[in-house]
Amino acid sequence: MRTIKLVFSLLAMVLLFSCEKGDEPVKVSGTLKNLTGLDGCGWIIEIKQNESIKKLEPTNLSDFNVTLTNGQKVSLSYNETNTVSICMVGQVVQLISIQNE
């Protein structure tokens, strides 16, 4: 009986501590940049993060009705992905929403 309690206790601890918190979408303002002149690149979004600029490579920008103008200010929400791109200038993201400011 004691062994069964120990096994269930260990199993419960493993399940409790192995759960990941769901990724919450990040909501920010940014600027569209056209990098289509670079090999494998397209449109990216630059956002201010602390004192630096973070570059985002959206995988689904064409799914949204947003004006693609270099320097266009946008409001967006996104989830980060664990993928890499050919362009390799920033974090690959999946847009949840985006609109012109």
Give all domains of the chain, ordered by start, each with its CATH number.
23-100 (2.40.50.500)
- Total H helices, total E strands in the chain: 1, 5
pLDDT for 21 beyond 50: no
pLDDT at residue 8, rounded to an integer: 57
Residues comprising the chain, all counted: 101
CB within 8 Å of 17: residues ≥ 6 apart: none
* The token pair that represents 67 in the structure block: 């004006």
pLDDT for 94 beyond 70: yes
Beta carbons of 39 and 86 less than 8 angstroms apart: yes
- Higher-scoring residue by pLDDT: 23, 53: 53
pLDDT at residue 2, rounded to an integer: 73
pLDDT for 13 beyond 60: no
* The token pair that represents 99 in the structure block: 């609109």
Lowest mean pLDDT among 5-14, 29-38, 86-95: 5-14
